[in-house]
Amino acid sequence: MQYQVVNYLDVSLPNNCVYHHSPNEGKRHINYINRLKKLGTKYGWPDLEICVPMEHTTSGNAETFFIELKTKRGSMNANQKLRRDELIEAGQQWALCRSVDDVEAFLRPLIKLRVVNE
């Protein structure tokens, strides 16, 4: 599903918006895990973060939005719940999405999205 979401973002986000995926998933050697932690990696970081300049938000402020992607039955682990809580406490917009439609429903009221021809 993440490929479909990224394709959707490519065509629907206005110019000058930037999105990013931090590749935290997968198995790694313990030495590499420790190195990543020292470099600032936060396990449980959302799958996507989207930076939007003020001219493209409905609030009129530059904002960053965070999206955790899960399958229909997927659940968040403890690190993901912790990061969600930290981001929300920091005043950030965060959403759990299970489809491209969920992503659009989250972003549409917040960002002046481009119209995508069906």
Residue 113 above 80 pLDDT? yes
The tally of CA atoms less than 13 A away on the side-chain side of residue 49 is 13
Higher pLDDT, 104 or 116: 104
pLDDT digits over 23-74, tens only?
Answer: 777 777 888 777 877 877 788 999 999 999 999 999 999 999 999 999 999 9
β-partners of residue 19 are 50
Rg from Cα positions in the chain: 15
pTM of the model: 0.89
Q: Which domain holds residue 65?
A: 2-107
Whether residue 73 lies inside any domain: the answer is yes
CATH number at residue 46: 3.40.1350.10
pLDDT of amino acid 118? 53
Q: Is 21 exposed, middle or buried (0-12, 13-18, 19+ CB in 10 A)?
A: middle
Whether residue 118 lies inside any domain: the answer is no
Whether residue 81 lies inside any domain: the answer is yes
pLDDT of amino acid 52? 98
Average pLDDT of the residues of the chain? 92
Distance CA(56)–CA(50), nearest Å, equals: 12
